[in-house]
Structure 1
Amino acid sequence: MIRFLGILIFFHILTSCGQEKTTSPNDLKGILKMTQNSPNIHSFLASHKGELLVEEYYTTYDQDSLDDIRSGTKSIMTTLVGIAVDKGYIESIHDPIPKYMKVPGDKSKITLAHLMSMQSGIQWNENSSPDDRTLMIRSGNPKEYILSKPVTSEPGTFWTYNSGDIHLLSVVLAEATGMSTLDFARKYLFAPLGVEKVGWKKFGDGYHPGDSRLELKPRDLLKLGEMIANNGEYKGRRIVSKHFLEEAAKFHYEHKNVSEKTGYGYGWWVVDDNNTRVMMASGYGGQMIGIVPDEDLVVVVTHFWNVSGNNAAKQQKNAQQLAVTLWDWVRSTAK
């Protein structure tokens, strides 16, 4: 439940930020003071139009430290699939997954796009205790655990927060390319971005988890965000196609229980704020990459993640409030 509620907090903060200008800090110094109210914060970075606005680290944390971005991994996993399509390892995101891996018959209609948008139809619940993600890991073979779950709705018709869907993308990528997900990422994503220091442990099934456990330096997370904001290019080099990113930022699922236009794309949380598209990679405990492509703005916030659910929600809220307040400030200074 904590993952989903944390996103709804973000939606509310984002779409109401323009109504709260009088209570927001009016300069960067004031924004930095807000970090004092975010326990366990590790880093706060932002860039605007390629210019570094802020790069702050806290406690014993520094620019060379790795951060476990938890579910923020999902957004990078789907980006890797987009790169694999660009490179010809995968023909189309609309390919059924049996083209790349052996699956039970009831999973034969599930496509990569269904997995990326968390609409596989596979029965899944991450709001209970123990939840399916926990049971998946405890099983020792996450791939087989996911594939053993029944399909309870037609693929593409029902959305539920499903880490299992995104992990299957890692399996597909490895099988389609003949490389581990980490090796593929190093070659086609990290190396072009100048990212050298990476951590990504494997699950018990031998695959790198598509849904979590990726560790990167905050400055490298900023590079990733800048590449996304620049339509897939970084320092003049094409990393992923503009077309794929446009598809990733569309609403493949739109929340019906909130008034604002918010939802899920391909591995990214998406908000439409007065016709301005916002993309967010979000991880448990306040890990985030917030991107406003039209304004070339990127915000990165990381925290110590191994905290209780209540504390994780507070940290997520603080991280997202920092991002939105900075965006509000950038908008006001541009006028």
Structure 2
Amino acid sequence: MDRRAFLAGVAGALMVHPATAQMPVRQWQTLSLAESGFRPDANERIEKAFAAGELKGLHGLVVLRHGKIAMEHYFAGADEIWGDSRGIVAFNADELHDLRSVSKSIVGLLYGIALAEGLVPKPDAPLIALFPDYPDLAADPSRQRLRIEHVLTMTMGLAWDESLPYSDPRNSEIAMEHASDRYRFILDRPIVRPPGEVWTYSGGATALLGHLIARGAGQRLGLFASSRLFAPLGIDRFTWTSGTNGEEAAASGLRLRPRDLAAIGQLVLDKGRHDGRRIVPADWLEQGLTPHTRLPDGLGYGYQWYLGRDRSGAPWYGAFGNGGQRLVVAPRHQLVIAMVAGNYNVPDSWKMPVRLTSEFVFGALAQ
């Protein structure tokens, strides 16, 4: 049974949100390949590679250079919403797409926005004290060491395993969905390492962040995201799939159009400002895009964002999701890459986005 199957029948499983603030829809400018500094055959190479099966599963690609659209492609392919098949979809610029765990990085931005408004605790705040309904957990000295920063950086030191298929009830995220109280489930996991010591991929960590944002704001996470982040960027439509408890699935449920995902990447590139307005605090981005821990593959990890360096040593920031969803921000090149794909639960689904990014985007920049 897939992740969506056990959600069947849950009221409001897919929350459809229009923008809650009266902001104009974003109007995009475009650049020619020559103006944007790409090789003249860059678009043709992508189209030919897809036709040859070399970019299998790719649904959409938007590349921004200096804040304008340099490349944009859409393809038809099999798709789903959180495990529920949609059949073959002919994608276009107006089609929403699952972002899966790219949602986590966007929640990281939302936490910074909420913090600036005084709605959520600072990173150094004790975690367990924020859940007074669990006095037994609060009495555990080992759990008293947990801080919000450990949640933001996925270094909580609690047992969590999402390496199993999402059809397996032993997968920690699926077990969280089945739990009668997801927040107790997360916080009650066995302690396997001291907090802050080791990075462990955890949708439970992001679920905690989403809950704290919604609780502090006094409204649903999707409504907060709409008024504080999406509408100010001119994003007028999105959906956010809810879990079994009726709250938005913070770790994986967000659906956006590729252009709107690119707009969030551009906001990060522009250090939290858009159209003269401060949306994400600059100091939060500086903290969140600084490596706080290291992954086994050598990448850094900040506040729900992956951090790396290109061959020249220049930094890039990334948000990754199951199936080939990607948002890559490269400040040195003034480049944003947003892609969506349908290779869900495929073990090597990372290979296509990496090749597309390195060979067909960065590799197409004129030297």
- TM-score class, shorter: 0.7 to 0.9
Q: Residue 84 of structure 1 aligns with which residue? A: 114
Q: 1:144 to 1:98 in 2, by over 3 A?
A: closer
Q: Residue 286 of structure 1 aligns with which residue? A: 324
Which of 182, 188, 191 is the aligned partner of 2:231? 191
The within-5 A match list for 1:92-103 is 92-102=122-132, 103=134
TM-score of the superposition, structure 2-length normalised? Answer: 0.77
Q: Equivalent residue of 1:279, what SS?
A: strand
Q: Residue 151 of structure 2 aligns with which residue? A: 115
Contact 2:322 2:345 in 1 (8 A): no
TM-score of the superposition, structure 1-length normalised? Answer: 0.84
Contact 2:59 2:341 in 1 (8 A): yes
Distance in structure 2 (CA, Å) of the matches to 1:57 and 1:28: 12
Contact 1:81 1:169 in 2 (8 A): yes
Q: Residue 158 of structure 1 aligns with which residue? A: 198
* Larger-gyration structure (1/2): 2
Q: Residue 27 of structure 2 aligns with which residue? A: none
Contact 2:161 2:171 in 1 (8 A): yes
Which of 163, 169, 190 is the aligned partner of 1:127? 163
Question: Which whole-Å deviations, capped at 9, do the CAs of 1:1-45 have from their partners, x for residues lacking one?
Answer: xxxxxxxxxxxxxxxxxxxxxxx9963422343333222321011
Q: Equivalent residue of 1:150, what SS?
A: coil
Question: Which whole-Å deviations, capped at 9, do the CAs of 1:90-125 have from their partners, x for residues lacking one?
Answer: 242222224543342243332221111101111111
The within-5 A match list for 1:1-335 is 27-36=42-51, 37-59=54-76, 60-102=90-132, 103=134, 104-105=137-138, 106=140, 107-128=143-164, 129=168, 130-255=170-295, 257-258=296-297, 261-273=298-310, 274-305=312-343, 307-310=344-347, 313-314=348-349, 316-329=350-363, 332-333=365-366, 335=367
Question: Which whole-Å deviations, capped at 9, do the CAs of 1:120-175 have from their partners, x for residues lacking one?
Answer: 11111122453111211223542232123122322112211111111111111112
Distance in structure 2 (CA, Å) of the matches to 1:189 and 1:97: 25
Contact 1:170 1:207 in 2 (8 A): no
Once superposed, which parts of structure 1, at least 4 consecutive aligned residues long, lie more than 4 Å away? none
Q: Structure 1: any 5+ residue segments left out of the alignment?
A: 1-23
Q: Equivalent residue of 1:108, what SS?
A: helix
Question: Which whole-Å deviations, capped at 9, do the CAs of 1:273-302 have from their partners, x for residues lacking one?
Answer: 233111111100101111112322100110
Q: Structure 2: any 5+ residue segments left out of the alignment?
A: 1-38, 77-89
Contact 1:100 1:176 in 2 (8 A): no
Distance in structure 1 (CA, Å) of the matches to 2:356 and 2:40: 10
Contact 1:141 1:203 in 2 (8 A): no
Question: Larger % of helix: which?
Answer: 1
Distance in structure 1 (CA, Å) of the matches to 2:266 and 2:129: 33
Q: 1:182 to 1:101 in 2, by over 3 A?
A: farther
Question: Which whole-Å deviations, capped at 9, do the CAs of 1:181-230 have from their partners, x for residues lacking one?
Answer: 11110110011011111111222233222211101111100100000111
CA RMSD of aligned residues (A): 2.1
Contact 2:120 2:212 in 1 (8 A): no
Contact 2:55 2:356 in 1 (8 A): no
Amino acid across the alignment from 1:51: K
Percent identity among equivalent residues?
28
Distance in structure 1 (CA, Å) of the matches to 2:46 and 2:75: 15
